[in-house]
Each structure stands twice: as C-alpha cells, then as structure tokens.
Copies of this chain bind each other. A is one copy, B any other.
Amino acid sequence: MTSFQVHAIGRVESPLRDPESAPRQADEGAPAAWLSFEPGVLDGLRDLHHGDEILVLTWLDRARRDVLRVHPRGDPARPLEGVFSTRSPHRPNPIGLHQVEILAIEGLRIRVRHLEAVDGTPILDLKPVLGGDVERR
C-alpha cells in the first residue's frame, strides 16, 4: 500500500490517562482538555474563536492497526463487526475525529469541551464542522 507521513501539530493535555477507562464518546462524561500546539503552526490558528464548534483530528497512537473486526463498544456479547462501520480506535489508520466547542484560546493553547482523547494524544488537524448552518469556508 502507498504510505504518507503525518506530523503531530500538537498534543492533547487531558486529565484522562488510561485509554481503557476513557469515555467511548464525548457525550459520555468526557472532560474539558487543552490542545497544545507546536509554535510552527500558530499562523494557522489565528482565526479560531471562543465558542466555535470544530473537528479535531488526532492520531490514536495506542490503537492496534491490524484489526479489521471488533465487538462494538468492546462488548464481547455483541457480534463482531467490520471496523469501518464502527468508531473503534483500532483500524488500519487510527485517526480520531472529535467534535468539540472552543472554551478559551491562549496563544498556542486552546481549551475545548468534552474531549474523549487521552493525555498526550497527537493532534493532526483542526477543521470547521461539516455542513449545517456554519458558513462553508
């Protein structure tokens, strides 16, 4: 397969330390977290604002990449399912996708609500939320 290099543009700073005990979805008790960025990407952050809803793309570096079928939500009572119809972190390219609201911005650090990624998770990208009533830019 053809491969490409992605670079961590920052890291998650979160009270969540353990992937096993982390909430599976943001609305299941995920805490606020800081996104801490590399100085080199500051110019890309300049038009983000308090209150914006954004998508955070992360690299789930603790995930397994050789798994193609999982028990949904890790529940062995549920039949195995292909990973591409689940949000399991275990998948060939373990890219996490998280929708969050910006609570505060302090230079290279952005505070967001309800992020289920654990402390230290590398950040790959930020995007405006898809569709809806947000102006497409």
A residues lining the B interface (CB < 8 Å): 1-9, 24-25, 27, 38, 40-48, 52, 54-55, 57, 59, 61, 68-69, 72-73, 81-88, 91-93, 95, 97, 99, 122, 124-128, 130-131, 136-137
Contacts and interface: CB of A to CB of B under 8 A. Distances in A.
Given A73-B137, A137-B72, A137-B86, A95 B81 contact: no
Contacts of A4: 5-6, 8, 59, 61, 122
Contact of A84 (B7, B44, B81, B82): B44
Q: Oligomeric state, in number of copies?
A: 2
Given A3-B7, A7-B1, A137-B87, A127 B48 contact: no
A100 B5 CA distance: 26
Contact of A95 (B24, B83, B95): B95
Given A1-B40, A46-B69, A46-B81, 8 more contacts: A2-B8, A2-B122, A27-B131, A81-B137, A85-B137, A93-B125, A97-B127, A99-B130
Contact of A85 (B38, B41, B52, B68): B52
